[in-house]
Structure 1
Amino acid sequence: MEYVIVVTLTALCVLMVHASLDTREANRVLPVVLAAFFVRLIVHVLVMRSGVIGYGGDNHTYQTRALEVAAYWNREGFRFVTSDQIGSLYSVEVPCNLFGAVVYLVGGPAPLACTAVVALIACGLCVVMYRVARLIGADEPAAFRLLIFVAFLPAFLVHTSDTFKDGINAFLVVACLGLVASNVRRFDVGKLLMLVPLLWALWHVRPYMVFMCGLPLIFGLSSIKRRLSVRGLVVSTVLLAVVLALLEGAGGNSPFSMMQEQLDHGQSAVARNANADGGSGVLFEDSGNAWGAFGPKLLYTLLAPFPWMSGSLALQLGKIDTFFWYYLVYSAVRGARRLWSYDRTLLFVLVLFIIPSTIAYATTMANVGLIFRQRIPIVLVTSLLAAIAWTRTEQGGQRLPSRSAPIRERMDVFRK
């Protein structure tokens, strides 16, 4: 049964590509996406579960929780299981329920099939990245280059080759920002409706990321308010209220108090000292203040692991990913300058996620391995700006379309 699920998900991967892109683009993208899918299964078997690099922890934890979810369904019937039913699911209900569904179908542990689910989501993210890049002004070669880059970026590849939640989190973040950017281009209430389940799911994967996506969302809506009718503004307000109501019902505390609680915990000296234990831990001379030594913390958040750092094999391999990340940052700065020249609103949508997220992570910085994983969404969103820098006109120049230029139907990421 486990192999049947893998084959079914492979077929879904093919359908996803053809449903998301036109025929010409799909024929070009599909081989890359399928390669990315199967490479993740291979890495899962030969690297992650073989103990070659000795990396992991959360992946085994989520697999165990998935078994608990499946056992709960066998006893109580099928429903979305929250921390109210199984306390250990705190804030990661969606991944555990998703993996639990696979375990339930198989009738026991199914690490390969669960990894196939994660691989499918990773491939979906690659397609979303391609379309968002096209939306914000990247040409087709640049968007395709970005797709290849993301598909095989080492950190993203490793954390979507097993039952980690990082790939699910990254998909939800980029999808939300893509919808916001698409609404800036052309407002559609349907896109706001699509945001509701995405934000709800993100709340049950990594809650504080909802607030990180909230700033671009609010800015995106405010930037188009003059083009909205009174009816549109009312609908938008109601939909945002629905999102807050859903989040309010997600637990006993309000969303804002829960975010503050998570931030206080992550910034606490106890949590940072605990995270600093291990081969990749880092302690700063901040006198216990999360905002102390902010400059060094920011450098570690953005640029670690540094070439001279010693540590585990996983950390050494992480330096390869960091080398690519340095190149992305350089390209993103160039891309941001270009995007500023023809669509500053879209630039601010991306920057309002990148900068606050980086600052928030810097105040909790205590472990290179942990921050290496946490910044994956920041890396992906930054790489969208890099795609702008890679864009050329047909004549090989660097001129990009003006904001007033018409956007072709297929360039709008979520118009359909």
Structure 2
Amino acid sequence: MEYLIVAATVITLVVLVSVSFDKHTAWRMLPVLLAAFAVRLVVHLAVVRPDAVGYGGDYLGYESISLETAAFWQREGLQFATSVPAERFASVALPCYVFAFVIYLCGGAAPLACTAVVALIACALCIVMYRFARVVGADERAAFVLLVVTAFSPMFLLCTSDTFKDGFNAFLVVGCLYLAVSTARRFDIRKPLMTLSLLWALWNVRAYMVFMCAVPALLGVMGSRGAAFTRALVVSGGLLVAGLFFFGYVDSGGVMETALGQLEFGQSEEARRSYASQGSGVLFDDSGNAWGSLIPKLLYTLLAPFPWTEGSATLQLGKIEMLIWYFMLYSAVRGVRVLWRHDRRVLLILLLFIVPSTIAYATTVANVGLIFRQRIPIVMVTSLLSAVAWSRRRPSADTEETARRPLTRA
């Protein structure tokens, strides 16, 4: 059964590519994405599971919860309100339920099948990145380069080669921002509805990221073309209130309390010292204040590991990605200048995610390996600005019409 699920994910990927692009573009994308999919399975079998580079990570914890949940379902029947496992889900219910369902279908541990699902999500994210780049203003060549870079980015590849939650988080964050920019281009009631569903899913992966994405999403609706401002504002306000009410209803602790609790835990001196005591930990002279030494923390959040940093084999391999990231940061600055001249509204939407997220993570940074994973969505959204800089054509309002059969009609 495990191999059948792997085969099903491959077929799903082929179908997803074929319905997302015209025939010519699909044939160009498919080999790249199939290779990206296959490489993730190879890395899973040859690197992550044998612990060949000493990376570690929390994927085994998620797998343990999923195994416990699947065993509960096998005893009591399929349900989404399990007793003991539910108490351990915290804010990672979505990936754990997905893995548990795969394990339930396979009748036991199925790490390869779970990894295939994660690899499918990673490839779907690459498709969204291509389309997002086109919406932002990148030309077809630059968007394709961005797709390839995203698909084979070492850290993103590693963190989507087992039962990590980072692939889920990145897909949902980028998807929300893509819909925000797409809505700003042309209003469609389906886009805010899709955004709400993605925000709900994101709440069950990394709750505080909901607030990082909600403001850009709201701005996208308020600044949308093709609909009266008042209508867009009323619709977005109603959907936002409904969404917050639902979140508050399902979470007796309240929305703000839950998100702020996660942020305060990450900012606490105890948590930061605990993370700093691990392999690639780093301490700052901030007198226990999370907001102290903010400039050095920002530099570590964006630029670590530095070329001279010592550490594990994974950290050394990460330096290869950092060389690419430094170039992309340089290109992103050029992309900001282009969008400032041609589309400040889209630039503002992107910056409303990049800047607050970077500052928030800087107040919690204490481990280079951990921040390397956490900033994956920031890297991806910033790389969209790089794609704009790589383009030979300047942004225009018509760049979303990139395929004969788009994912979301604008």
TM-score bracket for the superposition, by shorter chain length: over 0.9
* 1:16-51 Cα shifts (integer Å, max 9, x gaps): 001111111111001100000000000100111122
Instruction: Give the ranges of 4+ consecutive aligned residues of structure 1 lying more than 6 Å apart after TM superposition.
Output: none
1:367 corresponds in structure 2 to 367
Q: After superposition, where does 1:281-292 map in structure 2 within 5 Å?
A: 281-292=281-292
| Higher alpha-carbon deviation: 205-214 or 52-61 | 52-61
Query: Compared with structure 1, are the counterparts of its residues 13 and 408 closer, same or farther at alpha carbon in structure 2 (3 Å cutoff)?
Result: closer
Q: After superposition, where does 1:213-228 map in structure 2 within 5 Å?
A: 213-224=213-224, 227-228=227-228
Give TM-score, length-normalised by structure 2.
0.96
Give, in whole Å, the separation in 2 of the partners of 1:37 and 1:274.
Answer: 35
What count of residue pairs does the alignment treat as equivalent?
409
**1:255 corresponds to which letter in structure 2?**
V
Give, in whole Å, the separation in 2 of the partners of 1:366 and 1:232.
Answer: 41
1:325 corresponds in structure 2 to 325
Query: Compared with structure 1, are the counterparts of its residues 139 and 195 closer, same or farther at alpha carbon in structure 2 (3 Å cutoff)?
Result: same
Contact 1:179 1:413 in 2 (8 A): no
Query: Compared with structure 1, are the counterparts of its residues 231 and 74 closer, same or farther at alpha carbon in structure 2 (3 Å cutoff)?
Result: same
After TM superposition, give the deviation of residue 243 of structure 1 in Å: 1.4
* Counterpart selection for 2:401 from 375, 394, 408: 408
Give, in whole Å, the separation in 2 of the partners of 1:120 and 1:409.
Answer: 22
2:3 corresponds in structure 1 to 3
* 1:60-108 Cα shifts (integer Å, max 9, x gaps): 1111111111122223332324788521111100000000010000000
1:208 corresponds in structure 2 to 208
1:144 corresponds in structure 2 to 144
1:357 aligns with 2:357: yes
* 1:112-142 Cα shifts (integer Å, max 9, x gaps): 0000000000000000000011111111111
1:114 corresponds in structure 2 to 114
Contact 2:186 2:226 in 1 (8 A): no
* 1:260-306 Cα shifts (integer Å, max 9, x gaps): 11111111111111110122100111000001111111110010001
Contact 2:185 2:225 in 1 (8 A): no
**2:71 corresponds to which letter in structure 1?**
A
**2:217 corresponds to which letter in structure 1?**
L
Contact 1:298 1:359 in 2 (8 A): yes
Contact 2:222 2:229 in 1 (8 A): no
Give, in whole Å, the separation in 2 of the partners of 1:83 and 1:127.
Answer: 37
Contact 1:132 1:413 in 2 (8 A): no
After TM superposition, give the deviation of residue 238 of structure 1 in Å: 2.0
**2:409 corresponds to which letter in structure 1?**
R
* 1:245-264 Cα shifts (integer Å, max 9, x gaps): 22113322111111111111
Give, in whole Å, the separation in 2 of the partners of 1:385 and 1:413.
Answer: 21
Contact 2:93 2:205 in 1 (8 A): yes
Query: Compared with structure 1, are the counterparts of its residues 323 and 279 closer, same or farther at alpha carbon in structure 2 (3 Å cutoff)?
Result: same
Query: Compared with structure 1, are the counterparts of its residues 391 and 225 closer, same or farther at alpha carbon in structure 2 (3 Å cutoff)?
Result: closer
Give, in whole Å, the separation in 1 of the partners of 2:75 and 2:114.
Answer: 22
After TM superposition, give the deviation of residue 409 of structure 1 in Å: 6.6
After TM superposition, give the deviation of residue 233 of structure 1 in Å: 3.6
2:12 corresponds in structure 1 to 12
| Higher alpha-carbon deviation: 342-351 or 240-249 | 240-249
Q: Let me know the Cα RMSD of the aligned residues.
A: 1.8
Give TM-score, length-normalised by structure 1.
0.94
After TM superposition, give the deviation of residue 241 of structure 1 in Å: 1.8
Q: After superposition, where does 1:263-342 map in structure 2 within 5 Å?
A: 263-342=263-342
Contact 2:136 2:395 in 1 (8 A): no
